[in-house]
Structure 1
Amino acid sequence: MQIDETDRALIALLSADARAPVADLARRLGLARTTVQARIDRLLDRGVIAGFTLRRGNALRAPVRATAMVTIEPRAQADVLSRLKTLPAVETVHTTSGRVDLLVILSAASTEELDATLDRIAEARGVRSSESLIHLSTKLDRRS
């Protein structure tokens, strides 16, 4: 699908504030409200915009965040993912093409909770090894 500069500008505005009223977006883009609504509908229909979602602010995030780099046995991904889905501290899981198979983003209320979750990950059937990195501070977050 072709997207033009106006679509890109609209996507940027929605990325900054997905709840912005269409009338405000139209005013900022110098377009009619109906034109902006039609563009949003078209971007949604064609999958350029997958949807609108809620992102938790820092006030709701657990204070200890980490990334676990997990290497798994061949053909063990389904079992490992099933285990990861049961762990409340696991926020997201990404497959990779590097030296590890999965990047697991964790958010825990305490270092004890994080430690217990990391132990459960390491004990999961199919996990060959894991290495964790505790997030200290965020220097850039384009999602917020």
Structure 2
Amino acid sequence: MTDLDPLDRQLLTLLAANARAPVARLAAKLGIARTTAQARLERLERSGIIEGYTVRLSDDARRSVIRATVLISLTPSAQGPVLAQLKKLPQVERVHTTSGRFDLACQLACPSTLDLDQTLDRIGEIDGVQDMESLIHLSTRIDRGA
């Protein structure tokens, strides 16, 4: 993995705020040549530090999706097979391993409560899922976009 210097971190911060910013504008904000900024971007992409670029949706666009976090407790040695099944569900946005009572925290995005209900049923039917608790996201109070 590539070590990040302060300039790399500043570049990543600018990209996090606007991934579509032109390289010339990034370079100007950093006080470096455009070719230097381009070379750093390419190095960060090649090394895997930058895995891709994304779109951050507005609050209005996010309101059209129901989000939920599902906390999942697994039977011993079930993590691999359960993750493989979760990966097949398009409603699953993220899965984190956790410490404590639950083994996984799964973020879902569904177009309707019916779809959310069906997705929760599918997750509950996966071999190795021992227990679940779902938390529906009502509103976002802080979003640092990371």
Which TM-score band (shorter chain)?
Answer: 0.7 to 0.9
Give identity over the alignment, percent: 54
Equivalent of residue 91 in structure 2, options 77, 80, 89:
89
Does 2:4 align with 1:14? no
Residue 41 to residue 86, structure 1, CA distance change in 2 (3 Å): closer
Structure 1 residue 143 displacement after superposition: 1.9
Compute the TM-score of the two structures, normalised by the length of structure 1: 0.85
Per-residue displacement from partner, 1:54-111 (whole Å, max 9, x unpaired)?
2362527752110000001011123222332333322222222232111111111111
Unaligned runs of 5+ in 2: none
Match of 2:101 in 1: 99
Structure 1 residue 44 displacement after superposition: 2.9
Paired letter, 2:101: R
Structure 1 residue 117 displacement after superposition: 1.2
Q: Would you say the 8 A contact 1:63–1:108 is kept in 2?
A: yes
Per-residue displacement from partner, 1:93-144 (whole Å, max 9, x unpaired)?
2222232111111111111211121122112211110000000111122227
Residue 36 to residue 102, structure 1, CA distance change in 2 (3 Å): same
Residue 93 to residue 62, structure 1, CA distance change in 2 (3 Å): farther
Residue 55 to residue 61, structure 1, CA distance change in 2 (3 Å): farther
Q: Distance in 1 between matches of 2:56 and 2:88?
A: 20
- Bigger drift between 2-11 and 18-27 goes to 2-11
Q: Distance in 2 between matches of 1:87 and 1:3?
A: 34
Match of 1:63 in 2: 65
Paired letter, 2:55: R
Residue 9 to residue 56, structure 1, CA distance change in 2 (3 Å): closer
Residue 9 to residue 88, structure 1, CA distance change in 2 (3 Å): closer
Residue 35 to residue 101, structure 1, CA distance change in 2 (3 Å): same
